[in-house]
């Protein structure tokens, strides 16, 4: 797996990939022939089909796996099927067609990596394999990019896929306006451990504040230490946890709900 340095020399004129609250970040990767400087953007996605389709492709890679022993063609077809399923899902949520999400405002946040000449071949090959060439997106400034990370900001009183809801604010009508949940946090495998997920969360916080959200929640399985540590490092704290007996009745591991007051 290609490793991206977490920090860049201050003499390079580029910021660290972990720089917070910046719309455009720069990441420097090693290349056998030369150093490559690649542009990463953290931003709120539009509702265009091209952008939602690219997010669907990313989630198809991150949230599913092809059964062992399948051929390369079968694996490719499986990824395409999962990408289309995720695309349909996010389209329905964003455009208010998903009945389960009625009353929720779903705002996708995305990280895009500019496709440019200086990109190391190993990284380009990894992105093509993990996401697929057909899921590149045209950016507004006229260049092509990959969606390498995303999450959903769900504004509303409760998240339909979760049994435990946030406690604040106590008034249900107020909660519909000032409570939100993060979900579907993911980064493509070849770009993980570079701070992209934390940057997505930071951007989501700003988006939430701008929309009047005061209480931001996220669910996590405690045994998923990487995700839990990410949320704690992003300012969340545990508000409540399902009992073991309750989780067992649903045939899954108990979950915590974490809160960050904005």
Residue 117's CATH number? 3.40.630.30
Give me 3's structure tokens: 């490793």
For the segment 208-227, what is each residue's pLDDT rounded down to a tens digit?
A: 999 999 999 999 999 999 99
Q: How confident is the model at residue 115 (pLDDT cuts 50, 70, 90)?
A: confident
Stated length of the chain: 262
Number of neighbours of residue 87 by Cβ within 10 angstroms: 20
**Percentage of the chain exceeding pLDDT 90:** 70
Q: Is residue 5 part of a domain?
A: no
d(CA 152, CA 201): 10
Give me 55's structure tokens: 């997010």
Give me the domain span that covers residue 167: 10-261
Q: What is the mean pLDDT of residues 153-163?
A: 95
Candidates 110, 131, 142; CA nearest to 46 is 110
Q: Is residue 233 part of a domain?
A: yes
For the segment 58-97, what is each residue's pLDDT rounded down to a tens digit?
A: 999 999 887 788 887 887 888 889 999 999 999 999 999 9
Q: Is residue 1 part of a domain?
A: no
Candidates 259, 59, 99, 254; CA nearest to 163 is 254
Report the range of poorest mean pLDDT among 1-5, 80-84, 144-148, 222-226: 1-5
Q: Is residue 2 part of a domain?
A: no
Q: Is residue 226 part of a domain?
A: yes
Q: What is the mean pLDDT of residues 37-63?
A: 93
Give me 155's structure tokens: 């504004």
Give me 198's structure tokens: 């934390």
CA distances (Å), origin 232, targets 201, 208, 220, 226: 11, 18, 11, 10
Average pLDDT over the chain, rounded to an integer: 86
Domain total in the chain? 1
Q: Is residue 158 part of a domain?
A: yes
Output the pLDDT for position 161: 85
DSSP string covering 71-116, please? Answer: -HHHHHHHHHHHHHHHHHHHHHHHTT--GGGTT-EEEEEEEEEE--
Catalytic residue positions, numbered: 231
Residues linked to residue 28 through DSSP beta bridges, in sequence order: 37
Q: What is the mean pLDDT of residues 199-212?
A: 98
């Amino acid at each position: 797996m290609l490793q991206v340095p977490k920090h860049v020399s201050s003499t390079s004129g580029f910021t660290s990939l972990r720089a917070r609250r910046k719309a455009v970040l720069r990441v420097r990767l090693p290349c056998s022939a030369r150093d490559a400087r690649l542009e990463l953007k953290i931003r709120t996605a539009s509702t265009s089909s091209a952008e939602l389709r690219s997010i669907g492709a990313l989630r198809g890679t991150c949230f599913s796996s092809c059964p062992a022993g399948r051929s390369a063609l079968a694996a490719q077809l499986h990824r395409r099927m999962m990408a289309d399923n995720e695309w349909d899902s996010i389209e329905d949520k964003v455009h208010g067609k998903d009945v389960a999400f009625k009353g929720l405002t779903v705002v996708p946040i995305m990280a895009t990596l500019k496709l440019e000449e200086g990109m190391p071949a190993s990284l380009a090959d990894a992105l093509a394999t993990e996401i697929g060439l057909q899921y590149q997106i045209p950016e507004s400034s006229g260049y092509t990019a990959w969606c390498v990370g995303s999450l959903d900001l769900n504004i509303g009183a409760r998240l339909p896929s979760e049994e435990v809801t946030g406690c604040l604010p106590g008034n249900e009508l107020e909660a519909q306006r000032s409570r939100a949940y993060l979900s579907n946090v993911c980064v493509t495998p070849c770009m993980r451990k570079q701070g992209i997920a934390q940057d997505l969360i930071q951007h989501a916080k700003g988006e939430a504040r701008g929309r009047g959200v005061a209480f931001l929640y996220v669910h996590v399985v405690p045994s998923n230490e990487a995700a839990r540590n990410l949320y704690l490092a992003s300012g969340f704290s545990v508000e409540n946890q399902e009992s073991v007996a309750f989780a067992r009745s649903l045939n899954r591991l108990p979950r915590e709900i974490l809160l960050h007051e904005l």
